[in-house]
Copies of this chain bind each other. A is one copy, B any other.
Amino acid sequence: MKRVGRLTLMALLLAAAGLCFAGNASAKEPRISKETAQCLDCHEGMPGIVSQWEDSAHWNAGVGCYECHKADKSDPDAMEHYGFQVAVIVSPRDCGACHPREAAEQEASHHAKAGDILNTKDGLLGQTIGGEPAVAVGCRQCHGSIVKVREDGSLDPATWPNTGIGRINPDGSKGTCSACHTRHRFSKEQARQPESCGKCHLGPDHPQKEVYEESKHGILYRAFKDDLNMDHPKWIAGEDYYDAPTCATCHMSATPNQGVTHDVGTRLSWNLRAPVSKRTDNWQQKLDSMKDVCSACHSSPFVEGFYQQLDAFIGLYNDKFAVPAKEIRDLLMEEGVISKGNFDDEIDWIYWELWHHEGRRARHGAAMSGPDYAWWHGIYDMAKAFYNHLLPKAKEACEKAGKPEVYEKILAKYIDGRPEHQWFTKGFDPKRIEQIKKYYKERYNQDVK
């Protein structure tokens, strides 16, 4: 006993001594460069960011204001600032000076290309239907702006501030590390939290955050967040934590068999964003990488069963709704029932939201185990759009155009000839309807038709 007591005391004293040395060292050999010290002299008036930085690993490593914000005179956004050449934007290229692997992975990722989409239909939607200021405050805050430097070297306020993940920086690099590692803590722990991803991965058209929250994974995260060791540098699923995965766990972080990556698409075997779902390139390798994550907590039959259910679900999405809806709209355009323009017919809007909103909600809900999203916000909403909006509007449009035969053609090809759609013209199975009425009568003690 006595020996234990003495050893404990020794340990405590050594720890205390260690702290003293650390303190002394810091005092004698300052972590802070003299340039950074000069920055701090003036920037005390922004106490928030200084304190954030003082709590960061950067402070600990002696990386201060100047080390990140210093610029070369030839940099497009360099500006003279009280005798220093500095830049407001610290780009992934700048971060890459110390974090080369992370920067290279990020540059190769789909994230870095997030700005390109603003040249697509989504971008056209934003600019034409919305307008430039809505694109600046909306779209670009996730997708990234093309940051412009004005004549005087300052950043164009139409393009800055911006932390969109695909931002195009004055130095030509793409992305911004602070999209996830928020300045000026640049915390691993914060970036690993689902809320960080949820800044952009949420909403009517890609509700990953909402799906995660309603999934078992998200429920366990809320319950055991404090046990997840999220501030540990080494953060291996099943070893350093085991109660719940976050977005990072499955898409980025290490397992006993694979390392962390900042290239976020390397474990995705389906492209569930496209109108018709497609396998990704090298999907089998990517699927294996993801299954390796699952296996930290789930048995192989569990994982196989999950993917079997998912793949059947994606098949249903494609074959029952996505492809027929596309072909029906194409036919209406080809037959001159609706114009070939975009968003000038109600049917354009219905089709667009069917795959881009409801269809993604369904697929993300299925892929991340959120049953409410897979069904109510997903397939149910999509089926309603298909049967209760697309088809009746197609009928109406054909009648208005004096071409009822086009709608007959649609019914023949897509509805009557297909067992999964026949109910629409032939009605529900009357036996099942009777069963249901009986059930409701018992359950609610009232007639339900």
Contacts and interface: CB of A to CB of B under 8 A. Distances in A.
Interface stretch (A95-103, A129-137, A402-410): A129-137
Interface stretch (A28-36, A238-246, A283-291): A238-246
Nearest to A160: B305
A85 interface: no
Contacts of A163: 216
A218 B202 CA distance: 14
B301 A154 contact: yes
A428 interface: yes
A109 interface: no
A313 B199 contact: no
State the number of copies, please.
Answer: 3
Interface in A380-434: 380, 383-384, 387-388, 392, 420, 423-424, 427-429, 432-433
Contacts of A137: 309-310, 313, 365-366, 371, 374-375
A297 interface: yes
A239 B379 contact: no
B13 A5 contact: yes
A118 to B, nearest CB: 10
A371 B129 contact: no
12 contacts: A4-B13, A5-B13, A47-B242, A47-B256, A52-B243, A119-B439, A125-B380, A136-B312, A141-B369, A205-B376, A275-B448, A343-B387
A239 B47 contact: yes
Contacts of A341: 427-428
Contact of A297 (B46, B154, B158, B342): B46
Contact of A371 (B13, B196, B200): B200
Contact of A375 (B138, B199, B362, B432): B138
A299 interface: yes
A391 to B, nearest CB: 10
Given A189-B223, A448-B275, A427 B199 contact: no
A445 interface: yes
A-B pairs with the 7 shortest C-beta distances?
Answer: A138-B375, A48-B297, A157-B305, A47-B238, A274-B444, A141-B371, A133-B312
Contact of A9 (B5, B312, B436): B5
Given A138-B374, A242-B48, A220 B190 contact: yes
A220 B440 CA distance: 38
Contact of A120 (B189, B220, B440): B440
Contact of A46 (B45, B128, B296): B296
Nearest to A423: B128
Interface in A315-373: 315-316, 320, 326, 329-330, 333, 339-344, 346, 349, 362, 365-366, 369, 371-372
A175 to B, nearest CB: 16
A219 interface: yes
A68 to B, nearest CB: 14
A24 interface: no
A376 B207 CA distance: 12
A339 B424 CA distance: 12
A304 interface: yes
A306 B161 contact: yes
A203 B371 CA distance: 10
A108 interface: no
A243 B157 contact: no
